[in-house]
Amino acid sequence: MRFRTLSFSTRSLTPSKTLLPLVLRRRLVSALSAAPSPSPMAATEESLRRALAEKQTAVDAQSEAVRALKARPSVSKDEIDAAVEVLKALKVEQGAAAKRLQSAVSSNSDGSSKEAFRQAVANTLERRLFYIPSFKIYRGVAGLYDYGPPGCAVKSNVLAFWRQHFVLEENMLEVDCPCVTPEIVLKASGHVDKFTDLMVKDEKTGTCYRADHLLKDYCKGKLEKDLTLSPDKAAEFKHVISVLDDLSSEELGAKLKEYDIRSPDTGNHISDPYPFNLMFQTSIGPSGMLPGYMRPETAQGIFVNFKDLYYYNGNMLPFAAAQIGQAFRNEISPRQGLLRVREFTLAEIEHFVDPEDKSHPKFVDVANLEFLMFPREEQLSGKSAKSMILGEAVSEGTINNETLGYFIGRVYLFLTSLGIDKDRLRFRQHLPNEMAHYAADCWDAEIECSYGWIECVGIADRSAYDLRAHSEKSGVPLVAHEKFSEPREVEKLVITPSKRELGLAFKGNQRIVVEALEAMSEKEALGMKEALDDKGEVDFQVCTLGKSVRIKKSMVSISMERKKEHQRVFTPSVIEPSFGIGRIIYCLFEHSFYIRQRKSEDEQLNVFRFPPLVAPIKCTVFPLIKSQQFDEGAKLISKSLTAARVSHKLDVTGTSIGKRYARTDELGVPFAITVDSTTSVTIRERDSKEQIRVSIEEVASVMKEVTDGQRTWFDMLWKYPTHVTTHADEL
């Protein structure tokens, strides 16, 4: 969980800034004033901008020369024509330079237009019902989407793999908590006060916009559309985009003013940015007396259950709990399709660990992984993400600790196994202001798609913040214990509530008051002691009762004593990987999508190259032609596939085999089984279009092995005879 757009660190808790090292603070102060030199990746774009500026200067100079020539009385027509020809040639060159720049700023790395690509993916996804705008017949609601049949299947495969890769592998304790959450829980966590985004309003119409989005859109628009932009100005806009998450409300407001950014729909002036809480409010029960919210994340359900989960785990650390469930955020202006929605599935892990020992026994398993990382220093100095070895990033301190590093490595393996392109995946460290003041270190797994780099998984070391916050608010100590082999002598605060006196005074509430007294911090307890010594009684706020109670001297004894300790009691730190499942799935759709040219006609076929692991259906079964024999064979195979638990689709429509292949390719089905004899069938692999011939008895087991990941298609090519001639109308 993260409090968004700096609401926590800069708006309300300026002390966090005072905790930053001076060097970083200086750098932040100058973050907006000094646009750094462009990164190597931006070098091509920069040189194209320079080339265009030079051509423009040449065109201007030649236009001036032509005008001057025409103004002179004794110049021959030939002379003027020659000068005009030069001008025309220069304009052609200028046009070509503008085109090159335009395609550099608005194309994918392969040169295709991002917009056209996105549209092709979206059309296919909507047409094949991967997703559907919710409540479509009533014209829908922004930021709400349904998953249709293949979308549901992909999502359930992603979640099944998540459970296998994380919950099973790490023996995590999975829980399932309600979405409706009482206010007190989200008050303790800080969401009620600080889960905000900065919003601006159109001063005339009152339409709301997210302030940082307006600034980002303005800078992106300038970079993509204003080809006359000087290289320095372009570098400035890029820099603003890269430090966007790090801007305070004031800095954001100042930039909106400096660029004279107006309401995008009306051109009216906009207000200064102000915070808007993203939670959907509700009340629990008919009386309206118990305020609540739809949870904005699943994590709090785990924190409030810590005590029981710790006990369930045999009072041992470290351990992790996990939860998959819906989260609700009333986004100011949802956009970018599935990427920013108002209800989405989160899969979250809370790994509880001793703050004094954040080593991880399985770190060696991931230490040699090498992938793109984008440390804070690189971002602040305008450099690009760089390939780093995970083990080195941890040992040199770029990543704060082994456990955090371990999860970064596991997240990398998870995403790439799903089919995310490793070259379009990077781990970006949070900038100092972006990170909550209590966090030790945070990294986002960002995936590049046609919308740019998108945060899909947040991986944060949140220290002991959450458990402490709930301990304080609830009065229930959410702590762990380390038993010493030898007792140790220490000076300790001892709080001994007198259960008898408290029982007489508070009857049924006695236990709650006892727990609240025991949960006092050292400072609170010593303050109470002083007041009791002075006045003999003191008012004490018990949050879990929602009121103050009067504590008398006879009810509690508080002292500092030298004690032999047999154990250490501490609040565990928590390392939290938080997965936005919808975002991962959307990026997977884009990374898997490609267009195949049809051989015969000038038609394009859409294909999703999903790995079998996530493919919505693992194979289709077609009889080659309409015949009773082949239909029966197909039904038999379908039965054996069901028995082997391989998801499949039987297509007996009798349309041409080519059309049927095209239909399943568009759903990303990896294998097609064509029944073309009574004893054997062909199996065709979607991307290579290679086919093997397999006996009818073996089909189900071959499919099972190759879709479960026990064997690869390559193994099958070795094992079974290749079917060389593709079926007559293969495309």
Residues of this chain that bind ligand AMP (CB under 6 A): 1-2, 297, 329, 331, 340-341, 344, 346, 455-458, 578, 580, 582-583
Minimum separation from the CB atom of position 580 to ligand AMP (A): 2
Residue whose CB is less far from ligand AMP, 399 or 525: 399
Distance CA 408, CA 457 (A): 10
Minimum separation from the CB atom of position 586 to ligand AMP (A): 9
Minimum separation from the CB atom of position 324 to ligand AMP (A): 12
* Token pair recorded at residue 205: 């119409």
Minimum separation from the CB atom of position 578 to ligand AMP (A): 4
- The rounded Cα 304 to chain-centroid distance in angstroms is 24
Residue whose CB is less far from ligand AMP, 14 or 326: 326
What does 329-353 look like in DSSP terms, one character per residue?
A: ---SS--TGGGS-SEEEEEEEEEEE
Residue whose CB is less far from ligand AMP, 435 or 646: 435
Residue whose CB is less far from ligand AMP, 1 or 244: 1
Per-residue burial over 506-535, b if 16 or more Cβ lie within 10 Å, else e, is: beebbebbbbbbebbeeebbeebbebbeee
Residue whose CB is less far from ligand AMP, 2 or 201: 2
Q: What is the DSSP letter of 726?
A: P
Minimum separation from the CB atom of position 637 to ligand AMP (A): 40
Minimum separation from the CB atom of position 3 to ligand AMP (A): 8
Distance CA 200, CA 159 (A): 37
- The amino acid that residue 670 corresponds to is P
Residue whose CB is less far from ligand AMP, 357 or 455: 455
Minimum separation from the CB atom of position 1 to ligand AMP (A): 4
Residue whose CB is less far from ligand AMP, 310 or 443: 443
Minimum separation from the CB atom of position 348 to ligand AMP (A): 8
Minimum separation from the CB atom of position 344 to ligand AMP (A): 4
From the CB of residue 354, how many other CB atoms can be counted at a distance below 10 Å?
A: 15
Minimum separation from the CB atom of position 219 to ligand AMP (A): 21
- Whether residue 318 is preceded by a cis peptide bond, meaning omega within 30 degrees of 0, is yes
Where are the extended beta strands (E) located within 99-228?
Answer: 131-133, 145-147, 173-175, 180-182, 196-201, 208-210
What is the number of the residue whose Cβ is closest to ligand AMP?
580
User: Is residue 676 classed as helix, strand or coil in its secondary structure?
Assistant: coil
Residue whose CB is less far from ligand AMP, 247 or 667: 247
Q: By the 8 A CB rule, do 292 and 183 touch?
A: yes
Q: By the 8 A CB rule, do 391 and 46 touch?
A: no
Residue whose CB is less far from ligand AMP, 97 or 279: 279
Minimum separation from the CB atom of position 449 to ligand AMP (A): 13
H/E element, 498: none
Residue whose CB is less far from ligand AMP, 2 or 684: 2
Distance CA 299, CA 349 (A): 8
Q: By the 8 A CB rule, do 179 and 192 touch?
A: no
Residue whose CB is less far from ligand AMP, 90 or 584: 584
Minimum separation from the CB atom of position 295 to ligand AMP (A): 11
Which ranges constitute the DSSP H helices of 372-480? 376-380, 390-395, 402-418, 465-474
Residue whose CB is less far from ligand AMP, 450 or 691: 450
**Total residue count of the chain as it appears in this document:** 731
Q: Which of 489, 491, 421, 406 is closest to 456 using CA atoms?
A: 421
Distance CA 676, CA 683 (A): 11
Minimum separation from the CB atom of position 582 to ligand AMP (A): 5
Per-residue burial over 377-404, b if 16 or more Cβ lie within 10 Å, else e, is: ebbbebbebeebebbebbeeebbbbbbb
What is the arrangement of strands in the sheet containing 691-695, beginning at the earlier edge strand?
648-650, 619-623, 671-675, 680-685, 691-695
HEC string for 354-393: CCCCCCCCCHHHCCCCEEEEECHHHHHCCCCCEEEEHHHH
Distance CA 171, CA 374 (A): 30
Residue whose CB is less far from ligand AMP, 329 or 649: 329
